[in-house]
Amino acid sequence: VEQGYLGLWRRYKRSLKQRNTMLRSKAKHEEIRAWDKALAALGEEIDTIRQQVFVVLKPVLLKTASFLLKNPVFFDYDRGWQENKSLLDVFIANENRDSQYGTTHSGPHRADIKITHENKKAKGRVSRGEQKLLACATILSAVEVVQSTLDKKLLLLLDDPAAELDTKSLKRLMEKVFELKSQLIVTSIEPEPDIFPQQPSLFHVERGKIHCAK
C-alpha cells in the first residue's frame, strides 16, 4: 500500500488545474512549459505507482472476475498517454491542441482499465448485472490484496447485493465475499437469510431508527 499516493495525486490535480487555466487564458508557451515539467514529473510518478499496484492486483482480479462472470475476463491498464513517449514530450507535442480546447488531453487523469469479456470490449455491451459483477470483482480483489498486505481484515459494506443479479450470480458473489472473512454489513429491501452461511444479526431501519429484529 503506497502511503504517499493520495498526497501525490492531490498535487497533480492542483497542477493540472493550473495548467488548464493557463491553456484557457491563452498564456505564453514559456509560461505553460514551466508548469509542464512539474506536472509531467508528478504524472510519471503516479503512473509508476499505479503500474506496480496493477501488477499485484491483476492476477487476483482475473481470477475473481472470471469466477463471478463464469467466463474469462481480461484487464489491461491504459496509463493515459502513449507508452513509448514521456509525459513531458506528450505535453509539448499536444500543446496547440490543448490550448485550442482549454484542457489537458493526456496524463494519468485520463488513465483507464480496459476490460475484455468473451473476446470483446466490455464497455457498452455487458448487461447491468455483469457491470455490477465487474465492479464487485474490482472491489473484492482490492480488498483481498489490501488484507494480505496489511495482515488485517477490513469492514465491507454491501448494498442490496441481490439487485440486478439472478440467483446463481448472487450465490457466486456472496461466496467470494465470504471467502475474504471480512466483517460484513449488508443492506437489503427484503430479508435474505439464505445468502449467508450462518444466521446473521438482523436489524430494521424504520423512520430513521434502527431496531434489532426478533
Q: What tens digit of pLDDT does each residue of 66-100 get?
A: 999 999 999 999 999 999 999 999 999 999 999 99
Classify the C-alpha dihedral 113-117-123-128 as positive or negative.
negative
The residue that leads in pLDDT, 161 or 59, is: 59
DSSP codes of every residue in 123-181: TTTS-HHHHHHHHHHHHHHHHHHHHHHHT-PPEEEEE-TTTT--HHHHHHHHHHHHHTT
For residue 3, pLDDT over 70 is answered with: no
CA gap 78, 63 in Å, rounded: 20
Q: What is the pLDDT of residue 200?
A: 66
CA gap 94, 194 in Å, rounded: 56
Query: pTM value?
Result: 0.84
For residue range 17-34, what is the model confidence (pLDDT) as tens digits? 999 999 999 888 888 988
The residue that leads in pLDDT, 130 or 192, is: 130
Average model confidence (pLDDT) across the chain: 90
For residue 185, pLDDT over 90 is answered with: no
Q: How confident is the model at residue 1 (pLDDT cuts 50, 70, 90)?
A: very low
**Domains of the chain, first to last:** 4-126 (1.20.1050.90), 153-213 (no CATH)
